[in-house]
Structure 1
Amino acid sequence: MHVREKSLNKITDSDTVSTEEMIAFLEHLDQCDFCLDQMIEEEIQNTCQPAPDYLAEQILNRAAAPDVQAAKAVRTTSRKMQLFYYGLRTATGVIAALFLLFVIQQADFSTFSRVSMPEFDKSAVYTEDSAHPETLSRFSQNISTGLSHSSDKLSDYMRNFSNKILNGGDLK
């Protein structure tokens, strides 16, 4: 059974419809496409009112306002700057890749010095027999010396590597 037109008008025009009636009406609309189409058509007919004559003029005036035009110009400039920075980053990456490609071909990597791990004193190992403050102090000094020596070796290796890349293998 379909909703009658009078009932449809009553439900759509009135704000005093009970909750139960509204739930039953919405459940029926969920099940019945014919009634749903009727309600949509009625709503379209009831709400189709032309816009006021002055509205188009107000919209055009607001669009031509200086603050709106400035915001539009900022947005456009911002997009152009983003594109410029993206292009600049891409070009820089391509140039760096080509530079490395041609420089590394000419480098001689066979002359690198080997990085060796530092050798620690065997007496620096902590055991229960040597749990004296002097031994712990020596142990911590040996650790810091070993770390310092390793970082020096690593920096020498990196310096040699960068010299090989930048100078084409001429300097050691």
Structure 2
Amino acid sequence: MTMPSIVPARRGRRLRLSALAAVATTAVAAGALLAGNATSAEAVPPEVISRWNNELVHSNALSPGFSQFLSAGPYTITAKLTASNTGATAINYSCVISAAGGADTDVAEVTLQPHSKAGVFLNVVHNFTTSGQVSFACTKPGGTPQVRMLQVKITSIKVNSLVNQPF
């Protein structure tokens, strides 16, 4: 009597395995079909350009600036630094990264408390139709204490395509 109950269970497992094999075969075939279409539009590896300075002293109203020319194409550009207030009064500190003379910009503003540090992070994306310039600088009110700009990193990554729109 136990024999009939064992046989259908094994038979059911075989059917399930057979169905899974059919699904896997279909998925592999679809992947091969899609891969065949992808060869004409293969992505180009990104081009990464990074610049850094581990310590700049910001004495005047405008910091030591940075600018660089990039070749034509779509880019995502990031800048980061740690701003350190060396004085005994608070400072309103502002940094900006700009592409193509201000066509695309990002601004970060922080209040640096006396003898404190704050992280500053910026990101801008831009599609340069010809070679163009990316610029970075920070400002503070004249006559305020010095700011040490630590671990400044500016990285431009040329990408395959770019979508830049509000959400």
| TM-score relative to the length of structure 2 | 0.31
- Higher RCO by CA contacts (8 Å cutoff, separation 6 or greater): 2
Q: Larger C-alpha radius of gyration, 1 or 2? A: 1
Greater helix percent: which structure? 1
